[in-house]
């Protein structure tokens, strides 16, 4: 699927991996719908991209809001979304048991609700519209790129909720790809390692340097545009389907 001919939805598109993806897709000719929460810099990001971008306030766990974002895409660009990149998510750090007591259950459930149910909500609603579209010459109607994490495989101390949520993204990649294969829709997942996102940038320089030193090669934090490059390749390469790709410089995370 060629980026210059499609409309792409990017959740979490106001910052970090999502922003880099929205910007790269637009540079390569896609029309981009940036979905993020109220108070995010999504409007500024869209304005910086130009006429090929639209910002829509959207909570990915809310069915009506995701539907409204898809309606807005159709109204603005004259066609439905053919590519969705799911970057929206949250992370917390909390041990299963501390001196203060057990892990807060509501917090655990919130992480799963946003990262897992939110991602699935976007997939199911987009897929329903993709399935109604005419296929391209290769028989494709749509592509999903989801975001897991190396924490799905190498979760550290305090990452029970986050690792569980990202493990779920990994686990649902193949069955959803199989579910949607008959509709000409592909599904892949990227599992990033340590990337220089706003969350990472908020850490002291010494901590960032220490984290970067754990990456075998290249021994640095990832650039969000490197995630975007891979997302763009997944869209373009029709044989990539049902796959989870680690993007981590051979990092295998230690316990802490």
Structural contact between residues 217 and 163, judged by C-beta atoms closer than 8 angstroms: no
> For residue 55, what is the enclosing H or E element?
strand 53-57
Give, in order, the Cα–Cα distances in Å from 249 to each of 131, 191, 198, 238, 256: 36, 11, 20, 25, 18
Catalytic residues, which ones?
A: 162
Residue 247's SS3 state is strand
**Cα distance between residue 61 and residue 11, in whole Å:** 11
What is the chain's percent helix, strand, coil content, to nearest 5? Answer: 45, 20, 35
Beta strands across the sheet bearing 185-192 = 53-57, 31-36, 7-11, 83-86, 142-147, 185-192, 244-247
Structural contact between residues 150 and 247, judged by C-beta atoms closer than 8 angstroms: no
Give, in order, the Cα–Cα distances in Å from 146 to each of 55, 59, 243, 245: 20, 16, 10, 10
Structural contact between residues 40 and 15, judged by C-beta atoms closer than 8 angstroms: yes
Residue with tokens 């790269």: 24
């Amino acid at each position: 699927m060629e980026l210059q001919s499609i409309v792409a939805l990017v959740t979490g598109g106001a910052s970090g991996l999502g922003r880099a993806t929205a910007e790269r897709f637009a540079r390569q000719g896609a029309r981009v719908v940036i979905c993020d929460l109220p108070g995010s810099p999504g409007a500024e990001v869209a304005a910086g991209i130009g006429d090929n971008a639209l910002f829509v306030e959207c909570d990915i766990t809310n069915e009506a809001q995701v539907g409204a974002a898809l309606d807005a895409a159709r109204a603005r660009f004259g066609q439905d979304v053919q590519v969705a990149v799911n970057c929206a998510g949250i992370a917390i750090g909390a041990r299963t048991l501390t001196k203060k007591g057990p892990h807060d259950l509501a917090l655990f459930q919130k992480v799963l609700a946003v990262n897992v149910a939110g991602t699935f909500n976007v997939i199911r609603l987009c897929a329903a519209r993709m399935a109604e579209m005419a296929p391209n010459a290769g028989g494709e109607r749509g592509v999903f790129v989801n975001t897991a994490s190396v924490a799905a495989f190498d979760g550290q101390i305090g990452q029970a909720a986050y690792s569980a949520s990202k493990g779920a993204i990994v686990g649902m990649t193949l069955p959803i790809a199989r579910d949607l294969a008959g509709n000409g829709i592909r599904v892949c997942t990227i599992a990033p390692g340590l990337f220089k996102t706003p969350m990472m940038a908020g850490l002291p320089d010494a901590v960032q340097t220490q984290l970067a030193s754990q990456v075998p090669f290249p021994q640095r934090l990832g650039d969000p545009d490197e995630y975007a490059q891979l997302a763009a390749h997944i869209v373009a390469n029709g044989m990539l389907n049902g796959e989870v790709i680690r993007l981590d410089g051979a990092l295998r995370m230690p316990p802490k």
